[in-house]
Amino acid sequence: MHSDLQAFINVDHLVANYQALRARCRSGVKFCAPLKANAYGHGATLVAPRLQDAGVDMAAVATLDEAIELRRVAWTRPILVLGNVLAVADFHERCERLDAIIKHALTITVADAATIRWLCEEPSNARIDVHLKIDTGLGRMGVLPDEAVRLVRFINTSRTLRLAGVYSHFGTADFAERDFALQQLAIFKAWLADNADALPQGCLRHIANSAATISLPEAHLDMVRPGIALYGYPPAEHLAEQISLRPILRLVSHLTCIKEIPAGHSVGYARKFIATEPTRIGIVPIGYADGFLRILTNNAVVGTKHGPAPVIGRVSMDQIAIDLTRLPPPTLGDPIMLISDKPDDENSVCKLARRMDTISYEVTCVLGRRISRTETHSPRRDTQSVPLQPLAAVPS
């Protein structure tokens, strides 16, 4: 049986995005693919093998569970765990996590003196690769530059740890105004220059996210980490014209109910929509539990085989209603395009993000577990903005 919600992931577009981003970099710059949060909602176990085959050098995840999942789908290249995963109070839990790090040959982020000291004191026959994160102004995880000098020298004296990388993270690289991003880059580069003698050979220096990979070549250093752009969405509107990216996701469902309601009849919780005329409505099995959030109440458009249809009434946990009154009579099971992979469509990821007053990252990351994710390729048989054939005929 198929899920009522099917996300089709175009892996040809994924590889094309990788190649376009790689082409922005000079020869020798390594490429780290952020696959955290289930590859930004697109399905890490689906996209990871394709990226490994394409030549990605490293993956980045947020948690140990995400890293172990990649190892289970035969990701053999380095995995950088971005979270400070050993910063837990329970000693046995910390030891268990360390065992998993060693067993799966994971590279971990270190960002505080206490964790580094504990790692150095913990007896182990394995040598653990670590990347030290430096806070150059974002103000989240990471040590300040002055403290980082001491920690690098401490790591270098350890028999347990190997300093495999030093990195930072931009806070505003996607802004048109670049002063703060350039300030962060200057701080990081100055620190690297001042401490070049302390960095072991092969230590990777990296700071470039999607925006910096696209438009700030001086930030590429030894490795880039473009996340959202890899999946086909520009990190900011003003960057869209600088690189050709292809969205890799389209989300499809179907009509499970069609009914006529009279004028004055309401639709959904809290009566957020009341019909002003006889209205034909259709029900689609998606809701906020699947990542189609309540902010889209009376505030979205979906694709049908006869044209666009507005979402009406409050989005509920498992269902939405759409207005089919102005369209030719539908049939139960007719396909509904919830998220289009065409950037100009009103239900594209970027257009939905605008309606939700958020960013494209959130639109895809919240897509839920009830959505099946299936690989598809180009060229596709369905080339229109909305699916033109029954759901069963959508490529799978």
Task: Tell me the catalytic residues.
Answer: 36, 269
Give 3-state DSSP helix, strand, coil % of the chain, rounded to 5: 35, 25, 45
Can you name the residues that pair with 83 across neighbouring β-strands? none
Q: How far apart are CA 145 and CA 40, in angstroms?
A: 30
In the Cβ-directed half-sphere of 12, how many Cα atoms lie within 13 Å? 6
| Beta bridge mates, 302 | 309
The pairing of strands 249-254 and 6-10 is antiparallel
Handedness of CA 7, 12, 14, 20 (dihedral sign): negative
* CA separation for the pair 143, 145 (Å, rounded): 6
Distance in angstroms (rounded) separating the CA atoms of residues 247 and 237: 14
The structure tokens listed for 242 are: 């600088």
Question: Could you give the CA distance from residue 166 to residue 256 in angstroms, rounded to a whole number?
Answer: 52
DSSP string, 48-99: HHHHHHHT--EEEESSHHHHHHHHHTT--S-EEE-S-TT--S-HHHHHHHHH
- DSSP H or E run through 18: helix 11-23
